[in-house]
Amino acid sequence: MLRWLSIAGAIVAVDQITKFAVVASLALHESVAVAPFFNLVLVYNRGAAFSFLAGASGWQTMFFIAIALIAAMWIVYLLKRYPREPLFCLALTLVLAGAVGNVIDRIRFGAVVDFLDFHAFGWHWPAFNIADSAITCGALLLLWDALRTRGTEPARPDRPA
């Protein structure tokens, strides 16, 4: 369990360091081209993924903090319960790190700091951050783990393999 919590802590640290650097370096909505398809930009997201509920009157901040803290407690319980499931634990660790990283932002700023802006042909993907990336990768690994384990039933002895 300590290994998983250490990994989560390292991801949270990288997430917070990058956010600190962006907040210290860029003005709100300032964009710096890094590559023809990638910019750094400072935006604050008061909502959830894709700015869901960003326009709400402010109640959503405490709501998202509460959901993330409940999820973090559940994840820690699952990490303790399934220590011999490395893919499952890695996936949970990534989700935990992302949730904690974004909760820190919500507590500090009342919003999540987003700064990674990928774009092509004039279309911009919504800006995101390291914590969001960790959550997304963790969710994909959870899906992969669920699909992978369902197909691993041993062959019945009366049937050829």
Task: Given the residues 114, 117, 145, 158, select the one marked as catalytic.
Answer: 114
CA distance 5 to 87: 15
CA distance 7 to 101: 13
Dmax over CA atoms of the chain, in Å, equals 69
Which tokens go with 81?
A: 């319960």
Task: Given the residues 15, 105, 117, 132, select the one marked as catalytic.
Answer: 132
CA distance 142 to 87: 8
CB neighbours (10 Å) of residue 113? 25
CA distance 81 to 97: 18
The backbone torsions φ and ψ at residue 56, rounded to the nearest 5 degrees and listed phi first, read -65, 165
User: Is 114 tagged catalytic?
Assistant: yes
What residues are paired with 35 via a beta bridge? 38
Question: Which H or E run contains 74?
Answer: helix 59-81
Q: Which residues have a catalytic role annotated?
A: 114, 132
